[in-house]
Amino acid sequence: MGTPVAPEHPVSFAPPGSFANTLKSDLKETFFPDDPFHQFKNEKPARRLTKAIQYFIPIFEWLPNYNFKLFRYDLLAGLTITSLAIPQGISYAKLADIPSIIGLYSSFVPPLIYAVFGNSKHIAVGTVAACSLLLQSTISEVASPKDDPILYLHLIFTATFITGIFQTALGFLRLGILVDFLSHSTITGFMGGTAIIIFLQQLKGFFGLKHFTTKTDVISVMHAIFQNRKEWRWESLVVGVTFLLFLQVTRYVSKKNPKLFWVSAIAPMVTVVVGCLFAYLVHADKHGIQTVGDLKKGINPPSIQFLNFESKYLPTVLKAGIITGVIALAEGIAIGRSFAIMKNEQVDGNKEMIAFGLMNIVGSFTSCYLTTGPFSKTAVNFSAGCKTAMSNVVMAVSMGLTLLFLAHLFGYTPLVALSAIIMSAMLGLIKYEEAYHLYKVDKFDFVICMAAFLGVAFISMEVGLMFSVGLALVRALLYVARPATCKLGKLPNSTVYRDIEQYQDSANIPGILLLQLGSPIYFANSTYIRERILRWIREEQAISDSEGNILEHLLLDLTGVTSIDMTGIETLVELRKTLQVNDIQMAIINPRIKVMEKMITSKFIDVIGKQSVFLSVNDAIEACRFSLRKSKQNNDTTEGPVAV
């Protein structure tokens, strides 16, 4: 590029032999940023083994320093979440069309596993409504919970096992990035749509219906409610509305005064106890108010022998296990990280995936179905002041005592009371304000949210989720394939260069076009980038012609280009040839280490010349201005005698 002025801080090129080691180190940091063995390799063998065990089994990290002072907090938190776990366990088991006792078991064994392997201090393990309904809607396609309840339950256990294997594999392979494809907009829409259909399905319990649909979409549910209106019982409706109003009032009280969090936390348990007493005293069955029925106390035998992998059921079981596994991971990890941030702590997503996976594997062997870290129970655990995962142990022990001595008492629980508990919980999952906020901030995010919401509500949960994730991926591909480029201009009375569209008082640089690229350059977007640059050049040439100038230099600021492939490099080579035909010189500014390595290895730097690589925009501009002055002097010298 003519004779550029040497930059104040010249670019230094590392010897090619060092690139392999540097690249290897970068790749390791990219794919294994928290490699546990890296931090142990300088330790003594015994110390290294101890730290490795503490890393993979976190209980060994915090248990040696555990004391009674911490236990006091965890004991209170554990008892509080137990009071919430009992009604939720029965309710969500009903939602999944499995025996209510299975819901209680799911808050007995899995919390013990999580306490050993879990990385979060605040997560309280339990079942969730969305996954319960999704399991029910998927497994019921091949096995009826009414006609063949034993097969149906065995397939639920098998789907839970598949979920555990899937989650554990993701954790060991450190593929937590897959969960990130469920964007905030997708989760908001999915949970809202799920809340709507779960809420409407509870009208079955409110009206005391005995016949209902197995479909989950809004239209089918509403049709089933009105089709069976002859079964409506006003007694059940009155009791249900009373319980729902009570629960909503307690939620309102706790929301207005966070110190009274325990009011809404114990409200479901109060609802169940009062419901049991009411049903027992007034003989609820005689008035059309259905109850849970007999709950056998004691510990169930292992369920590992019930896992069913028959080929005719396997595809459905795999679908149910994987989809619910992804949703459970997204909810559990997001919730764990959210509460950790409040305490300025970190949660390792890969450890969490392993913990969730192991507790679902063990759970499938011990008469439990899918569990994760539900928001409601975790929020109560956090508000109750839990200090460690010991609160899960307290909940598990309390649930074990309940199973041994108190389970049969909950058999009097009215189904309408459970419906009220589920309805109250679902109302908190419909984020109207969040959807409106998305609409104001980003219309595409709002569309992604509504795709999940409407798809789940009016078609099916799987279709709604796929629609939303598909739109999110399309958006990501558009960002990748159509990256933004901007023209930089000089701000007045400074040496700062900024986007001329954002800073309209920034000035053009005569004879020089300075463009900033802000994305990787590779096969998917290289053609677009080349065409966009050529369009900028044509526009700049039109401006230069109107001002009596000639465009001679193109400067590409590559500060934001994190990587480049061979297609991208070839695109830059072709662009340079096109520019040479038009007597325009090209230079690059501040390429990052990985980009520079590939440019040197591919001989691109030899083609463009080391003198065309600059460390900063100022260095490049000064070099180009020197070249422009020299070119103008040569032209004046040549044209002078001719004019005479």
Check if the beta carbon of residue 514 is closer than 8 Å to that of residue 584: no
Highest mean pLDDT among 103-117, 342-356, 476-490: 103-117
Helices (H), 257-371: 261-282, 314-342, 349-365
Helices (H), 177-258: 184-201, 203-207, 218-227, 234-256
- The phi and psi torsions of 228 (rounded to 5 degrees) equal -105, 30
Check whether 520 has a pLDDT greater than 70.
yes
Average pLDDT of the residues in 593-612: 91
- Sequence-ordered strand ranges (E) for 465-525: 485-490, 497-499, 512-517
> For residue 526, what are its two tokens?
């290289």
Cα 465 from Cα 450, distance rounded (Å): 11
Check if the beta carbon of residue 160 is closer than 8 Å to that of residue 176: no
- DSSP string computed for 66-126: --HHHHHHHHHHHHHHHHHHHHHHHHHHHHTTS-HHHHHHTTTSHHHHHHHH---SS---B
Dihedral in degrees, nearest 10, Cα atoms 131, 132, 137, 141? 100
Sheet holding 613-614, edge to edge: 497-499, 485-490, 512-517, 553-557, 585-589, 613-614
Q: Tell me, what DSSP letter sits at residue 6? A: P
Cα 356 from Cα 325, distance rounded (Å): 9
CA distances from 107 to 68, 115, 239, 299, 472 (A): 24, 12, 28, 13, 34
**SS3 call for 494:** coil
pTM > 0.85: yes or no: no
The pLDDT of residue 479: 83
Average pLDDT of the residues in 295-303: 80
Residue with tokens 């005479």: 644
Cα 424 from Cα 434, distance rounded (Å): 19
Q: What is the pLDDT of residues 300-342, one digit of tens each?
A: 788 899 999 999 999 999 999 999 998 888 888 878 877 787 7
Percent share of the chain, pLDDT over 90: 30
The pLDDT of residue 269: 84
- Which domains, and CATH codes, for the chain? 66-477 (no CATH), 484-634 (3.30.750.24)
The pLDDT of residue 643: 33
Check if the beta carbon of residue 360 is closer than 8 Å to that of residue 371: yes
Average pLDDT for the chain = 83
The pLDDT of residue 384: 78
The pLDDT of residue 366: 92
Q: What is the pLDDT of residues 466-502, one digit of tens each?
A: 888 889 888 888 888 888 889 999 898 888 889 888 8
Q: Tell me, what DSSP letter sits at residue 582? A: T
> For residue 198, what are its two tokens?
């779960």
Which of 108-117, 203-212, 435-444, 564-573 comes out lowest in average pLDDT?
A: 203-212
Cα 359 from Cα 161, distance rounded (Å): 10
Check whether 118 has a pLDDT greater than 50.
yes
Check whether 22 has a pLDDT greater than 50.
no
Cα 398 from Cα 405, distance rounded (Å): 11
Q: What is the pLDDT of residues 234-287, one digit of tens each?
A: 888 888 899 999 989 988 888 888 888 778 878 888 888 888 888 888 887 777
The pLDDT of residue 41: 56
Cα 414 from Cα 96, distance rounded (Å): 17
- DSSP string computed for 117-172: H---SS---B--HHHHHHHHHHHTTTS-TTTSHHHHHHHHHHHHHHHHHHHHHHHH
Check if the beta carbon of residue 370 is closer than 8 Å to that of residue 127: yes
Average pLDDT of the residues in 518-541: 90
Check if the beta carbon of residue 541 is closer than 8 Å to that of residue 498: no
Which of 137-146, 151-160, 171-180, 514-523 comes out lowest in average pLDDT?
A: 171-180
Q: What is the pLDDT of residues 369-394, one digit of tens each?
A: 999 988 778 888 887 788 899 999 99
Q: Nearest Cα to 264, choosing from 104, 425, 414, 413?
A: 425
Residue 603: count of CB within 10 angstroms of its CB:
11
The pLDDT of residue 186: 85
Long-range contacts of 399-403 (CB under 8 A, 24+ apart): 399/82, 399/85, 399/86, 399/89, 399/104, 399/107, 399/108, 399/111, 400/108, 400/299, 402/82, 402/86, 402/104, 403/101, 403/104, 403/105, 403/108, 403/297, 403/298, 403/299
The pLDDT of residue 341: 73
Highest mean pLDDT among 7-21, 48-62, 424-438, 593-607: 593-607
The pLDDT of residue 632: 59
Return the higher-pLDDT residue of 620 and 37.
620
Q: Nearest Cα to 130, choosing from 92, 178, 179, 176?
A: 92
